[in-house]
Amino acid sequence: MKMFLMNTYNRFPVTLVYGKGSWVYDINGKAYLDFTSGIAVNVLGHSHPELVKAIKDQAEKLIHCSNLYWNLPQMELAELLSKNTFGGKVFFANTGTEANEAAIKIARKYGKMKSEKKFKILSARNSFHGRTLGSLTATGQPKYQKPFEPLVPGFDYFEFNNIEDLRKKVSDEVCAIFLEPIQGESGIIPATKEFLEEARRLCDEYDILLVFDEVQCGMGRTGKLFAYQKYGVTPDILTVAKGLGGGVPIGSGRCKRKGKRAGAGRSRHHVRRKSARMQSRCHGDERADEGRFSGRSGQEGKVPSGKTFQNERKVQRGGRCSWYGIDDRDSIFRCGEQKCCNEVL
Ligand SMILES: Cc1ncc(COP(=O)(O)O)c(C=O)c1O
């Protein structure tokens, strides 16, 4: 039967049949202690009774409906994720690579709103962001990229944890910086706090979206729900997958309102959402303002254009000063000229 499967991985000569907790069992009943956990997927172990129950319960009710309709598990999980990170809205996908594709598209569209030239995306050498074409291009590893060239244009790479190199690559043409707070694929290599802080600072200075890919290091694997919470450096977009579903495929991108509302290729499976919701027994509420902008926040008022707004931000850059607000339709606008990005993707 193996002959019918494409040869995408070098597999071990073991055929697994079931698992319980940290153990998996092969076709001959031989037990193995599972140190792989599906590469950071089975964060509750195998066949966790609550996870199994959540999947079963939901499968008996509704496995699938399209995004033409609302459904409760989707909304509840989005709320959990938003309230336990930095607020903002959630886009659901099926995998980590799709979550990163969404982040790429949000960043490109955000950049385009500013300038036709603002489309460059920077990521770290030896990073891993997935295998679809955009995420593969962001993945700074030629060994994965070579067979699929030409890749997506507009990407460049910096050396991880090298502040000088990052500074050299940043310009007004950059719309996003992608980073894993802890690189996974290339060994477990944590970013230094100084490096993440400098990335944050540069993003603020150049109006760049900071994207943290926590597909592998997120979901409680560092002791906090997400690794960025340990560093105290908040991204604009957070991508999460793998452990979020505990084995059921799911991906999500959380985005601050700066570049909001992703819309294409959504995942619609409630079973995933339900199991992911179960996974998200989240730690404290970290919705507080991230301090990204100077000026007041979280207040209601009027911008100079006379438009009512909430959560306005004042951005000081290069001597210029602009007001950003979020109106009652959740649209982002800039002082005077409404810049609605309701259809980011
Ligand atoms: C950091 C990181 N990002 C993205 C991905 C891609 O996730 P997926 O395999 O769910 O597409 C991975 C997978 O290993 C990963 O480690």
Residues 89-145: pLDDT tens digits? 999 999 999 999 999 999 999 999 999 999 999 999 999 999 999 999 999 999 999
Instruction: Evaluate the omega torsion of the peptide bond into residue 150 and state whether it is cis, within 30 degrees of 0.
Output: yes
Residue 158 and residue 173 in contact, taking contact as beta carbons nearer than 8 Å: no
Taking the CA of residue 249 as reference, the ligand 1 atom at the shortest distance is: 10
- Give the integer Cα–Cα distance in Å for 61 and 251: 22
Active site residue 309: no
Q: Give yes or no for residue 238 having a pLDDT over 90.
A: yes
Judge if 120 and 183 occupy the same domain. Answer: yes
Judge if 95 and 190 occupy the same domain. Answer: yes
Judge if 258 and 137 occupy the same domain. Answer: yes
User: What pLDDT score was predicted for residue 1?
Assistant: 84
Backbone angles phi, psi at 337, to 5 degrees: -115, 115
Ligand 1 centroid to Cα of residue 182, in Å, is 13
Judge if 229 and 104 occupy the same domain. Answer: yes
Per annotation, catalytic residue among 86, 92, 204, 213: 213
Asked if residue 114 is part of any domain, the answer here is: yes
Judge if 31 and 139 occupy the same domain. Answer: no
Ligand 1 centroid to Cα of residue 226, in Å, is 15
Ligand 1 centroid to Cα of residue 183, in Å, is 11
Across the range 215-237, mean pLDDT stands at 97
Ligand 1 centroid to Cα of residue 335, in Å, is 38
Judge if 85 and 217 occupy the same domain. Answer: yes
Tokens at 267, concatenated: 């995942």
Question: Quick one: DSSP state of residue 138?
Answer: H
Ligand 1 is surrounded, with C-beta below 6 A, by 39, 95-97, 100, 128-130, 180, 184-185, 213, 215-216, 241-242
Taking the CA of residue 183 as reference, the ligand 1 atom at the shortest distance is: 1
Report CA torsion sign: 178, 179, 180, 181.
Answer: negative
- Parallel, antiparallel or unpaired: strands 120-124 and 89-93: unpaired
Total domains present in the chain: 3
User: What pLDDT score was predicted for residue 300?
Assistant: 36
148 in the Ramachandran plot: left (φ > 0), alpha (ψ -120 to 50) or beta? alpha
Q: Which residue has its alpha carbon closest to ligand 1 atom 9?
A: 96
Taking the CA of residue 130 as reference, the ligand 1 atom at the shortest distance is: 6
Residue 31: domain span = 2-35
Judge if 177 and 318 occupy the same domain. Answer: no
Judge if 84 and 179 occupy the same domain. Answer: yes
Per annotation, catalytic residue among 118, 120, 242, 274: 242
Judge if 11 and 141 occupy the same domain. Answer: no
Residues 257-299: pLDDT tens digits? 664 433 333 344 556 666 666 554 322 233 322 222 222 333 3
Across the range 317-326, mean pLDDT stands at 32
Active site residue 242: yes
Judge if 24 and 124 occupy the same domain. Answer: no
Of the pLDDT bands very low, low, confident and very high (cuts 50, 70, 90), residue 242 is very high
Q: What percent of the chain has pLDDT over 70?
A: 74
Q: Give yes or no for residue 4 having a pLDDT over 50.
A: yes
Judge if 21 and 88 occupy the same domain. Answer: no
Residues 216-226: pLDDT tens digits? 999 999 999 99
- Mean per-residue pLDDT over the chain, rounded: 81
Asked if residue 343 is part of any domain, the answer here is: no
Judge if 198 and 63 occupy the same domain. Answer: yes
User: What pLDDT score was predicted for residue 3?
Assistant: 86
Residues 183-213: pLDDT tens digits? 999 999 999 999 999 999 999 999 999 999 9
CATH number of domain containing 136: 3.40.640.10
Q: Which residue out of 128, 214, 226 has the highest number of ligand 1 atoms within 8 Å of its CB and is therefore the one to mutate?
A: 128
Per annotation, catalytic residue among 91, 119, 128, 160: 128
Q: Which residue out of 8, 41, 97 has the highest number of ligand 1 atoms within 8 Å of its CB and is therefore the one to mutate?
A: 97
Residue 345 and residue 264 in contact, taking contact as beta carbons nearer than 8 Å: yes
